Amino acid sequence: MDELKALIMEDDDADADRLASCLRRYATENGTPLDVRRVASAFDFEPERHPADLIFMDIEMPGVDGLSAARHLRELDQQTTLVFVTSLARHAAHGYEVNATDFIVKPIDYETLSIRMPRILREVESRRAKTVTIGTRERTWTLDANDIVCVETIRHDLYYRLAPSASAGEEDPRVRGTIAEAEARLTKVGAYFRTSPACLVNLDHVAAIRENAVRMDDGRTLPLSRSRRPALLNALAARMGAGA
């Protein structure tokens, strides 16, 4: 397993130290590489500056509480695994609003954490397996691979075209790179196919095949090289036959 980044959001020093100690003990005893860091306030939490695979959020903090911070995170990132930490179990119900994986009631003890961690880590690995991180000058995008409809090369830039539900009205991510680099990266996490020298499509978003074009389910029409058309049809047939 690659090293996981765990972030603790907790205003109480003693509670934060206790959780960090339990996490580091679990990492040592189970051979799980874990980098544990902390922010003491939701005011200090900026998802773009604090990338993490796993976040432990105290729900009850002064000022901006953990739930508000979680909602902000989910506006930018649907994939990072969240675990709520709370003094009152009834507050854990709010986790459903932000797709939290679990909750732990204070005071935290090692035995309870060690029982919960295998399930939490399975969720982390499941999400990481299909997650793509795209860093632009403006922000860092953490996306489900299936939220990428296609990738286009314009001059020397890659444009990651996102499904409307993932873009939330923002401009599509643009980074420097080549379509070959995008293909090598995305085919590891999803079903992607190069339809032309400058275009890579997500097979799960293909709506129709024309003679020399592919229509995507967002209405976008992309070029299709004649030499690649038979292979694309075979790839789509295999995808449907596999029950994708």
For the chain, the C-alpha Rg in angstroms (whole number) is 21
Specify whether the CB–CB gap between 91 and 84 falls below 8 A.
yes
- Would strands 148-154 and 157-162 be described as parallel, antiparallel, or unpaired? antiparallel
pLDDT of residue 243: 54
Residue 117 CB-density burial (10 A; 0-12 exposed, 13-18 middle, 19+ buried): buried
pLDDT of residue 178: 94
Q: Torsion over CA of 103, 108, 110 and 113, rounded to 10 degrees? A: 0
- Bridge partners of residue 34, in order along the sequence: 4
Q: What is the mean pLDDT of the chain?
A: 85
**How many whole angstroms separate alpha carbon 90 and alpha carbon 87?**
9
pLDDT digits (tens, 9 = 90+) for 144-186: 888 899 999 998 899 999 988 777 678 899 999 999 999 998 9
**How many whole angstroms separate alpha carbon 185 and alpha carbon 121?**
23
Q: What is the mean pLDDT of residues 227-243?
A: 85
User: Is the preceding omega at residue 107 within 30 degrees of 0, hence cis?
Assistant: yes
Residue 31, sorted as left (phi over 0), alpha (psi -120 to 50) or beta, turns out to be left
| pLDDT above 60 for 217 | yes
pLDDT digits (tens, 9 = 90+) for 34-66: 999 998 876 677 766 667 889 998 877 666 666
Specify whether the CB–CB gap between 223 and 209 falls below 8 A.
no
**How many whole angstroms separate alpha carbon 203 and alpha carbon 148?**
10
Helix or strand holding residue 13 (H, E): helix 13-30
